[in-house]
Amino acid sequence: MKIFLNDSLVPEQDAVVSVFDHGFLYGDGIYETMRAYDGRVFMLERHIQRLQRSASLIQLRAPSPEYISAAIYRTIQENGLNSAYVRVTVSRGRGAIGLDPALCPEPTFVVIAEDFKEYPDKYYREGVKLVLAKTRRNLAGALDPRIKSLNFLNNILAKLEAKEQGAYEAIMLNAEDFLAEGTICNIFFLRDNTLCTPSVEAGVLDGITRELVISLAKQNGIPVNEGKFKVEALYGASEVFFTNTTSEVMPVSQVDTVRYAVGDITKKLRELYRAEVRQAAMTDL
């Protein structure tokens, strides 16, 4: 496998980063996860925009959108990939020990692209199990969840809880007891024929899949309520699903002890999302 490191493609064994990189020492950096279908990255511009926003929120100088896009496509093509998982990481770079970002003259830029491993079809047919985590989502005023940062311990602590309970994913509440998001996904549920999802103000990452699903729902006459919800609203829902770039629209069969059927709205939104993917694949690069 070839990795894009800073300014060139190198064999995986040569793609090494210094132990003095502040991404390693302090989690000082940002990233994006993308998915390529038929060699084309879905929603590439949005992902690059969000990467630039994350960079600006931590005062990190990321490469230009054109540079990032070219690096991504070179990495995909050099590895002979069609259906690919793509991760772009920008860390503060190598510098002396100490928190000051000025210690790092150059950011470290990495693109990894590997063959996309499809999720089992059973997950989409039957749904997956989620649990409510005790771990709260980071307070937006402490570490804004809109920064897609290399600091993932908040999410990892919740993921450990999911694993302990044999669940696929955990949902976190915010500090005010309102639903926030999963460890790597946004949560949706249906109540009284309205599609509900925690608003960005609840302290979540404004997922790119979330944004598209909301707009597809609205275009197709499904009312959407982005708001603040207590967990009881989720327990009382008729359908639940989550979204992210790799899973797309993933049905949820259970949250804690409450079970849900994979409902018609979930299936419809999944189909509409897939149609968007197919449509994008037909557009010229």
Nearer to ligand PLP, 24 or 85 (CB): 85
Smallest separation, CB 118 to ligand PLP (Å): 17
| Number of residue whose CB is nearest ligand PLP | 207
Q: Are 212 and 43 in contact (CB under 8 A)?
A: yes
Helix (H) or strand (E) holding 285: none
Which residues of the chain form contacts with ligand PLP (CB under 6 A)? 33, 155, 181, 184-186, 205, 207-210, 243-245
Q: Which two tokens stand for residue 268?
A: 């419809």
Q: Which two tokens stand for residue 248?
A: 């797309």
Q: Which two tokens stand for residue 264?
A: 């018609």
Nearer to ligand PLP, 62 or 185 (CB): 185
Smallest separation, CB 46 to ligand PLP (Å): 8
**Amino acid sitting at position 25:** L
Write down the catalytic residue from 122, 129, 134, 148: 148
Nearer to ligand PLP, 135 or 245 (CB): 245
Smallest separation, CB 98 to ligand PLP (Å): 28
Catalytic-residue membership of 148: yes
Which of 152, 103, 148, 108 lies closest to 16 in space, CA to CA? 108
Nearer to ligand PLP, 7 or 206 (CB): 206
Q: Are 231 and 130 in contact (CB under 8 A)?
A: no
Collapsing DSSP states into helix, strand and coil, what is residue 103? helix
Smallest separation, CB 145 to ligand PLP (Å): 6
Collapsing DSSP states into helix, strand and coil, what is residue 1? coil
Question: Which residue's entry shows tokens 């770079």?
Answer: 93
Name the phi and psi angles at 4, rounded to 5.
-85, 115
**Residues annotated as part of the active site:** 148
